[in-house]
Amino acid sequence: MIEGYEEYKKAGEIAASVMKDVLKLIKPGVKINEIVEFVEREILKRGGNIAFPCNLSVNEIAAHDTARIDDDRKLKEGDLVKIDLGVHVNGYIADMAKSIIVGKGNKEKELLIKASEEALDEAINKIKPGVKSNEIGKVIEETIRSYGFKPIVNLTGHFLSRYNLHTNKVLFNIYTRHYFEIKEGDVIAIEPFATNGYGKVIDEAEALIYKFLKRKPTRNIYARKLLDYIERRYPHLPFCERWLKDIMPKINLYSALRELINIGSIYAYNILREKDRGVVSQAEHTVIVKKDGCEIITSI
């Protein structure tokens, strides 16, 4: 029996049910903060815990975007939206993502979504013990390129363990010379990204999501107070500035976050944008590798 199997299953069921419902909210004029807060609220309501702040990334933004404090951004007709959500039960994580067009899209955006979804399906069909990791990357890359698009070379799938969203093993979305063998019991978040742009993401200046690294001394009284809170509430998994808004006034919060980044107490996940501002689609499921294949725990 795989460690945490029942918890992984429950986390996956909650993730899938929340995703199914949030997709119905994706309409022109809806505020981004309403969507991400719905996701996070429903995860808790349905018996799970939030594994990371709900990501909602639009068009050329590929990942790590979420609602800011007092965010007034709204979805627009034709936007391609990526919703990436994570649930954990007792530390065992299910991670999934879907892409959807707001209102009416166009043929290219529809094909872009189909490319990442089919790449995900092909990768899942190939997963079993003994398969080389670069064979999975190859089928993802070939599927996306068959649609006339590019995989994003510096975004990867990732292996999961208890309270660990990204272990030291990743699953590239392209063919590489280096590889390892997939093993029974591996828990993997497979997530192809497709784009009509350059095929690479770069950091935007802004970060809204963070992760605790280690405790380090600081003379900044607000930074010390914030660090105490973060270490107590979010010792293992990512958090966002929205979750800290009641700790102190915004001006002090932002200066405290900068101080904690500068001294190396927290890590900032910069918003990721496609290098040439190409539109990006994403599809993701979490799977558990079994004797003869794998089980999708986040299937809707």
Q: Would residue 203 show up in a list of annotated catalytic residues for this protein? A: no
Q: Would residue 72 show up in a list of annotated catalytic residues for this protein? A: no
**Angle CA 95–100–104, to nearest 5:** 175
- Closest listed residue to residue 156, CA positions, set 193, 113, 209: 193
In the chain, count H helices and then E strands: 6, 15
Residue 295 and residue 220: Cα distance in Å, rounded? 48
Residue 272 and residue 152: Cα distance in Å, rounded? 11
What is the 3-state composition of the chain as percent helix, strand, coil, each rounded to the nearest 5? 35, 30, 35
Q: Would residue 259 show up in a list of annotated catalytic residues for this protein? A: no
Pairing of strands 61-63, 266-274: antiparallel
- Closest listed residue to residue 187, CA positions, set 297, 84, 289, 296: 289
The catalytic position among 13, 42, 284, 285 is 284
The catalytic position among 79, 141, 191, 259 is 191
Q: Would residue 158 show up in a list of annotated catalytic residues for this protein? A: yes
Taking the alpha carbons of 255, 256, 257, 263 in that order, is the dihedral positive or negative? Answer: positive
The catalytic position among 37, 121, 135, 166 is 166
The catalytic position among 13, 60, 65, 95 is 95
The catalytic position among 79, 84, 141, 241 is 84
The catalytic position among 118, 158, 259, 285 is 158
Residue 274 and residue 266: Cα distance in Å, rounded? 25
Q: Would residue 204 show up in a list of annotated catalytic residues for this protein? A: no
Q: Would residue 284 show up in a list of annotated catalytic residues for this protein? A: yes
Name the residues annotated as catalytic. Answer: 84, 95, 158, 166, 191, 284
